[in-house]
A and B are shown apart, each in its own frame.
Chain A
Amino acid sequence: MIVANGLTKRYGDKTAVDDLSFEVRPGVVTGFLGPNGAGKSTTMRLMLDLDYGGGQTRFDGRRFREIRHPMREIGTVLEVRAFHPTRSARNHLRMLAAANAVSTRRVDEVLALVGLADVASMKPRGFSLGMAQRLGLAAALLGDPHTLILDEPANGLDPHGIQWLRDLLKLQASQGRTVFVSSHLLAEMALMADELVVVGRGRLIASGQVDSFVRDFTRTSVLVRSPQVDTLVRTVLNAVPTVEVTQAPDGSATLSGVDAARVGELAADVGLVLHELATHTASLEEAFFEATGATEEYVGQLRSAPETAGGIR
């Protein structure tokens, strides 16, 4: 169990992490989401006492620096290429193992587990991003820890690697371990995470189950397609004035704030023909954008502004 309480980090006038508190439970994969610059990496560094700031994080009641052999309790990946380019992968792990009284046999085990056994004696200078990521994961798993803290571990992995990582983390969680993983791959996080901690501009936006987050930050919408779509929209708005309508030129409309059954009933009442009536459930990505849109730190200039008029966009 990880309990982060009041984490705060300031760089001059800029507050990178602002009084952030959350809990990460064992037995589930907890995703750590936020836009670029939201303070995810800084938060992880604060949690591990790598950076100094306000607040504290306790791992089963203890600060990280109080743990004598931390790798046997908490495995971490924070930077992809955090190794000396001419020290072999095996020696890199042997060195970390020595600091935590982990056997050399375990070094070979984790190298095999992450698929690097064949390149164990190679210098990692020529490792691809994916291989470097696997070496980082091997280090995290070295002490067979009950807690994993991983910053963007899927970066650089190919689709098979990502699936392997997902299965690995789910397996770790199913064994009762605590898994806290940040990622900007929302589709991947939707498949991997059971719970979420979402931050924006260093502040907590939401925490809890993925389904709850999606429900809280999106509205289920209904897609209708009809040759008499204008009449249908007017009928629905008359019956349910709070509905938000987005009409497309192809004769379809997306209605938010009403369910498909109600729309079908209203169409039937006035004898309208429907070519399509479908419920659209929001994705994690849509919920993420809804939740963090206002907190995005770095915004590109290519996005066009949506047109909005009254209740109809």
Chain B
Amino acid sequence: MTDALRFEGLRLSTIRSTYWSLSLGLLLCGLVALGLGLDTRGTDVGAAEATLLLTAGGESLPFSLMGFAAALVGIFATGHEYRYGTILPTLTAMPRRSALLAAKLLVVVASAAVAAVAVIAVCWLVGTVTRGEPLPLVQGPIPAVTAGHVVLVMLYGLLGATLGQLTRSIPAAVAIMLVTPLLIEPVIAALSGLSALSWLREVVPYLPFTAGMRLVGAGLAGASEGQSVLDPFARWEGGLVFAGFTALLLALAWILFERRDA
């Protein structure tokens, strides 16, 4: 396993896509924080509003910006093997497939965690500079939201690697990562408002990306912290739904990776 981790660490650190994916994510998050910081300059922000600044949009966005960047790193970790045919030298260097996949996932998740923490640091810095006063870090829901943000970005990275492995196609995996939270889930949520389709209201909380975003919920959209009108799950329960969805796909990807031809 140590060899596999060394291999995967070098694989990740010796291609440009790792750096541009994470840099782009960090840049976008910084820009969102800049916009929010300028928008709230000279006004008091509560702890809930501060979470939006610290997590670059947090629950106000349909998906996590840095999460998507981490997902790209994950997609490339598995998808590049098939895009460039490197799965052959990889498996002749490390024929134990489970160890290889485990190493890929560990490295992606660790990178995602570092990137998620970096986002909080950058956003805090940008928010503090633009607002002219230090953003709070430990008030109210902030510790839980920032922790949820780190978990969310890690899950996005894990899901990206899973989809790359499952589809063996970078475009397909990217499309799923974008279309599901930006198109499919909002459409289902919207349809659930129709009386004829009211039964969809039972389904909406279980939509994985919607549920996952509860991890960065700060009670801005609903009656209480971590909840919204359509989504009855609290923060960690929502995270569990997203994690369960990811785990299900990962189990399928893992089984297929073990059984399919290279």
Find residues 25-65 in chain A having any chain B CB closer than 8 Å to their own CB.
45, 48-52, 64-65
Contact: A98 with B14, CB < 8 Å? no
Chain A contacts for B15, CB-based, 8 A: 84, 86-87
Whether A251 sits at the interface, judged by CB under 8 Å, is no
Chain A contacts for B9, CB-based, 8 A: 98
Whether B197 sits at the interface, judged by CB under 8 Å, is no
**Nearest chain A CB to B14 CB, angstrom units:** 4
**Nearest chain B CB to A149 CB, angstrom units:** 9
CA distance A71 to B93 in the complex (A): 6
CA distance A55 to B228 in the complex (A): 58
Contact: B3 with A82, CB < 8 Å? no
With A98-B6, A101-B3 already in contact, the answer to whether A70 and B92 are too (CB < 8 A) is yes
Contact of A85 among B11, B84, B96 (CB under 8 A): B84
Please classify the interface of chain B as helix (H, G, I), strand (E, B), loop, or mixed, using the class held by over half of its residues.
Answer: helix
CA distance A55 to B16 in the complex (A): 41
Contact: A95 with B261, CB < 8 Å? no
Chain A contacts for B224, CB-based, 8 A: none
CA distance A135 to B122 in the complex (A): 41
Contact: A84 with B80, CB < 8 Å? yes
**Nearest chain A CB to B75 CB, angstrom units:** 14
Using an 8 Å CB-CB cutoff, how does the interface string of A124-153 with B read, 1 for contact, 0 for none? Answer: 000000000000000100000000000000
Using an 8 Å CB-CB cutoff, how does the interface string of A68-107 with B read, 1 for contact, 0 for none? Answer: 0111001010110111111110011011101111000000
Chain B residue with Cβ nearest A90: B14
Whether B252 sits at the interface, judged by CB under 8 Å, is no
Whether B86 sits at the interface, judged by CB under 8 Å, is yes
Q: Known pairs A83-B89, A95-B10, A99-B93; list 12 more (Cβ under 8 Å).
A: A51-B261, A64-B92, A65-B95, A71-B93, A76-B92, A84-B84, A84-B86, A94-B14, A95-B14, A99-B6, A99-B90, A100-B93
Contact: A96 with B91, CB < 8 Å? no
Contact of A50 among B84, B91, B259 (CB under 8 A): B91
With A52-B261, A84-B80, A86-B15 already in contact, the answer to whether A139 and B95 are too (CB < 8 A) is no
Chain A residue with Cβ nearest B5: A98
A to B CB contacts below 8 Å, 18 in the list = A49-B91, A50-B92, A52-B261, A67-B95, A69-B3, A79-B85, A81-B84, A81-B85, A82-B86, A82-B89, A84-B15, A84-B80, A95-B11, A96-B7, A96-B93, A98-B9, A99-B6, A139-B89
Chain B contacts for A78, CB-based, 8 A: 88-89, 92
With A88-B14, A91-B14, A98-B6 already in contact, the answer to whether A52 and B259 are too (CB < 8 A) is yes
Whether B190 sits at the interface, judged by CB under 8 Å, is no
Whether B262 sits at the interface, judged by CB under 8 Å, is yes
With A71-B92, A71-B93, A86-B16 already in contact, the answer to whether A98 and B3 are too (CB < 8 A) is yes
Chain A residue with Cβ nearest B93: A99
Please classify the interface of chain A as helix (H, G, I), strand (E, B), loop, or mixed, using the class held by over half of its residues.
Answer: loop
Contact: B84 with A82, CB < 8 Å? yes
**Nearest chain B CB to A233 CB, angstrom units:** 56
Contact of A79 among B14, B88, B261 (CB under 8 A): B88
**Nearest chain B CB to A132 CB, angstrom units:** 11
Whether B34 sits at the interface, judged by CB under 8 Å, is no
Using an 8 Å CB-CB cutoff, how does the interface string of B1-33 with A read, 1 for contact, 0 for none? Answer: 001101101110011110000000000000000
Chain A contacts for B48, CB-based, 8 A: none
Chain B residue with Cβ nearest A49: B95
Using an 8 Å CB-CB cutoff, how does the interface string of B212-247 with A read, 1 for contact, 0 for none? Answer: 000000000000000000000000000000000000
Whether B94 sits at the interface, judged by CB under 8 Å, is yes
Contact: B7 with A50, CB < 8 Å? no
Chain B residue with Cβ nearest A42: B261
Q: Looking at A84, A85, A91, A139, which has the most chain B CB atoms within 10 Å of its CB?
A: A84
Chain B contacts for A86, CB-based, 8 A: 15-17
Contact of B10 among A48, A79, A91, A101 (CB under 8 A): A91
Chain A contacts for B11, CB-based, 8 A: 95
